């Protein structure tokens, strides 16, 4: 919206959803932003996204500059256009001395294995994890279930997200990740798996209190899931130790969901009830 001259996608439901990959100025503009990011932040990595482009690229078919790009570069379809864009931006990041990070859609884009880290986020697409491993990409596992902390953590909760089958993300499931139930039997015993990450998206979280309620106590389970091998996990033992942790939350005024006594910690309201 701020720079409409570089917008080139969108749909009725998702207007102004993408940049225009058919304009050379788009790449100049975005590379300038990446240069600024590089100057401001010392991180080795820059995350370029790369997910859900199909939500808003239907107008690409009507843009003459994209038609010309497809003809010039020999791109057969809009997915190929998407991959072309990702590779151009990956080249810019690599030139700046940084490593690319992207969501698991980038596995099929042909980005350089030596300079790309894949974040597997679609638990319903385990084949993307398998492809990333087979191609030799470094991987961070952060699937929506059970590691998106904007998903509700108790069936009584009315705000926040649930998966299509009514699934949610209770603390026990976070603790047991990445057991084979979550990776469809795919072995994750490989040095390519660099770790796990919990994500939380705040479009339905409008207050610090709501944010804390969604994060705690699942953050404690996430920490143990990250540093504990599956064969060493003991949920009963973890559950006992959480008594002390819940007291620490109280001491420091942290708003949390008491999963052991749900009625003692009513849900902190969000802006809207889940649909």
* pLDDT number for residue 69: 96
Domain holding 31, by residue range, is: 4-264
Does 33 map to a domain? yes
Residue 272 lies in a domain: no
> Does residue 270 lie in a domain region?
no
Task: Tell me, yes or no, whether 114 lies in a domain.
Answer: yes
pLDDT of residue 21: 94
With bands split at pLDDT 50, 70 and 90, how would you rate the model's confidence at 233?
very high
Residue 255 lies in a domain: yes
Report the pLDDT value the prediction gives residue 70, as an integer from 0 to 100: 96
**CA–CA dist 140, 187 (Å, integer):** 14
Is 271 within the bounds of a domain?
no
Does 70 reside within a domain?
A: yes
* Distance (Å, whole) CA 188 – CA 241: 27
- At 89, the pLDDT band (50, 70, 90 cuts) reads very high
Number of compact structural domains in the chain: 1
36: helix, strand or coil: helix
| pTM (two decimals) | 0.91
The CATH number given to whatever domain includes residue 54 is 3.20.20.80
Distance, CA of 149 to CA of 196 (rounded, Å): 13
Q: Tell me the pLDDT band of 272, cut-offs 50, 70 and 90.
A: low
């Amino acid at each position: 919206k701020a720079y409409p001259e570089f917008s080139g996608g969108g749909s009725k439901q998702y207007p102004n959803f993408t940049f225009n990959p058919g304009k050379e100025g788009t790449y100049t503009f975005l590379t300038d932003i990446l240069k600024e990011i590089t100057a401001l932040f010392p991180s080795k990595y820059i995350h370029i996204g790369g997910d859900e482009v199909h939500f808003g690229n239907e107008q690409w078919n009507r843009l003459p500059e994209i038609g010309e790009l497809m003809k010039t570069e020999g791109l057969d379809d809009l997915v190929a256009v998407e991959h072309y864009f990702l590779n151009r931006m990956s080249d810019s990041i690599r030139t700046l001395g940084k490593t690319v990070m992207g969501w698991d859609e980038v596995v099929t884009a042909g980005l350089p294995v030596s300079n790309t880290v894949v974040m597997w986020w679609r638990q319903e697409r385990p084949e993307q994890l398998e492809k990333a491993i087979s191609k030799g990409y470094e991987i961070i596992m952060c699937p929506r279930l059970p590691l998106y902390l904007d998903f509700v953590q108790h069936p009584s909760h009315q705000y926040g997200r649930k998966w299509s089958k009514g699934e949610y993300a209770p603390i026990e499931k976070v603790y047991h990740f990445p057991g084979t139930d979550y990776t469809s039997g795919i072995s994750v015993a490989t040095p390519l798996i660099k770790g796990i990450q919990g994500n939380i998206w705040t479009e339905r979280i409008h207050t610090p209190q709501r944010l804390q309620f969604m994060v705690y106590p699942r953050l404690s389970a996430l920490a143990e899931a990250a540093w504990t091998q599956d064969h060493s996990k003991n949920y009963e033992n973890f559950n006992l130790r959480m008594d002390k942790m819940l007291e620490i939350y109280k001491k420091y005024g942290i708003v949390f969901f008491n999963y052991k006594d749900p009625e003692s910690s009513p849900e902190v309201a969000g802006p809207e009830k889940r649909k």
